[in-house]
């Protein structure tokens, strides 16, 4: 299937996304592209964990996931956040369907490091046929990143990694990470383009740090097949889609040569 665009909505932006964002995705669809949404829900999960008095911690930007944390994360991601996004798309006039990575074994994963991260998974396989089915029938799939493991248990998957895996499996032409920042900020200024070779050195010298590390790593890892560019952009409505892409930091296989 051609013209697939995978759009990852960061948890910190989900509640703040304006109606213009959902309308722009509908317009993208109306113009012949096929958007697929993968979303996070970090702040909502934090709120639920606080209410349930469940302790949580992060290791290199990834949430350490105990069984209690996983249960709360699934409740929030597959429940409220997923359905709120589906409702917002429908209010914008776009047909959408919500699902978890557990549904139909859409996302299959294995543990990253049980001792360090607990029930955090890395994607091993994506059942792209389910996603394609909904795309072919005119729906925007909205995917929560809870995955199935081989033994039947569930795993919490970083939404950036899930979006990258979905984009690879679908041979998407575009991947956009929608977050609450304009992109990668270096010395107070937005870097509009980054070469893959830049990323390791910027992480090593702590220019890129915290939660931005998994974002840029997932972006770089997804630069295979048809995907030539991955954009990290702000979804606050000030930037608008141009030719199906949000303004932000474009991470490319190689930067363009300036003549």
Active-site choice (10, 40, 41, 42): 42
Strands 120-126 and 107-111: antiparallel
Catalytic residue status for 42: yes
**Nearest-angstrom CA–CA distance, 36 and 7:** 6
Q: Which two tokens stand for residue 25?
A: 């995705």
Query: Is 41 a residue of the active site?
Result: no
- Told to judge if 215 belongs to the known catalytic residues of this protein, a careful annotator would answer yes
| Most distant CA pair in the chain, distance | 58
Annotated catalytic residue within 40, 101, 118, 160: 160
Q: Catalytic residue among 11, 98, 211, 235, which?
A: 11
CA 189, 6, 204: angle at the middle one, nearest 5?
40
Determine whether 11 is an active site residue. Answer: yes
Q: Is 229 a catalytic residue?
A: no
CA-based end-to-end distance of the chain: 36
d(CA 212, CA 160): 10
- With 0-12 / 13-18 / 19 or more C-beta atoms within 10 angstroms meaning exposed / middle / buried, residue 157 is buried
Instruction: Give me the catalytic one of 29, 108, 215, 217.
Output: 215
List active site positions: 8, 11, 42, 160, 215
């Amino acid at each position: 299937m051609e013209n697939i665009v995978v759009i990852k909505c960061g948890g910190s932006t989900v509640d703040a996304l304006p109606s213009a964002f959902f309308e722009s995705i509908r317009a993208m669809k109306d113009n012949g592209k096929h958007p697929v949404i993968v979303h996070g829900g970090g702040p909502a999960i934090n709120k639920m964990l606080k209410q349930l008095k469940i302790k949580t911690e992060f290791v290199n930007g990834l949430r350490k996931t105990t069984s209690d944390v996983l249960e709360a994360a699934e409740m929030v991601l597959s429940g409220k956040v997923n359905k709120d996004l589906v409702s917002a798309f429908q209010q914008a006039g776009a047909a959408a369907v919500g699902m978890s990575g557990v549904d139909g074994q859409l996302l299959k994963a294995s543990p990253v490091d049980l001792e360090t991260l607990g029930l955090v998974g890395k994607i091993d396989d994506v059942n792209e046929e389910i996603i394609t089915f909904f795309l072919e029938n005119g729906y925007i799939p909205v995917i929560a990143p809870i995955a199935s493991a081989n033994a039947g248990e569930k795993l919490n998957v970083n939404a950036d990694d899930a979006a990258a895996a979905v984009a690879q499996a679908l041979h998407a032409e575009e991947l956009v990470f929608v977050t609450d920042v304009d992109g990668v900020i270096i010395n107070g200024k937005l870097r509009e383009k980054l070469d893959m070779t830049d990323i390791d050195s910027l992480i090593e010298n702590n220019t890129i740090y915290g939660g931005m590390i998994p974002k840029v790593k997932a972006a770089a890892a997804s630069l295979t097949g048809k995907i030539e560019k991955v954009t990290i952009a702000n979804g606050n409505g000030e930037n608008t889609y141009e030719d199906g892409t949000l303004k932000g930091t474009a991470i490319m296989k190689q930067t363009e040569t300036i003549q």
